[in-house]
Amino acid sequence: MDFTKTQTYYNLARSFAGECQAGMRYQLTAREATHQGYYVLADTIKTIAKNETNHARVFFQTLLKEAGSRDNIHIDASYPFHSGTLAQNLQFAAIDEQDESENIYPQFAKIAREEGFEQIALKFEQVAKVEDNHRIIFGYLHEAFEDGSLYKAERPMLWICSECGFMHTSKESWKVCPLCGAPQGDTELHLPFKKENL
């Protein structure tokens, strides 16, 4: 079978393009978080952007392995182009990640499996699990940012300054680290996770 005639070939190209764009969108969101003084939030978003870039690398390398180098691959696909406030961008990211984890990559995995590419199907499924965790993180960050609970908790939590390591247990983070004077935006965040995706 000529791999370049399969739907999986085009789905890999679409996935590469989509992950590159997601990585850049998240870099721009992280930049805005930094401008607003949310340094640890920016670092968290940058880590997810790095994840997306590595997903793109996996898809790109798989495409090269299966089809070799190409001058162009014509793909017909839709990609999100939305932007707003920092809070809105966190919400957009959660929505985009949900689409990838629940619709796009499971469908691409199904097609790859039907076309006889089990290892590629597994890659799509593995990426879908990571995207689901990204959805959870972005959803949490959006809600916490919107309702002002990013640095507050219902029960006492351990807050850690990412700059000097100062630790304190309370229901709310400090506004300024009492040890080094770092702003609240340098306080480590408490992020949710799904055990089944570990």
Quickly state the pLDDT bin for 80 (edges 50, 70, 90): confident
48 has pLDDT over 90:
yes
Residue carrying structure tokens 């959805």: 135
Quickly state the pLDDT bin for 26 (edges 50, 70, 90): very high
**pTM for the predicted model, two decimal places:** 0.91
Burial of residue 66, with CB atoms counted within 10 A of its CB: 0-12 exposed, 13-18 middle, 19 or more buried: middle
pLDDT digits (tens, 9 = 90+) for 125-171: 999 999 999 999 999 999 999 999 999 988 998 999 999 999 999 99
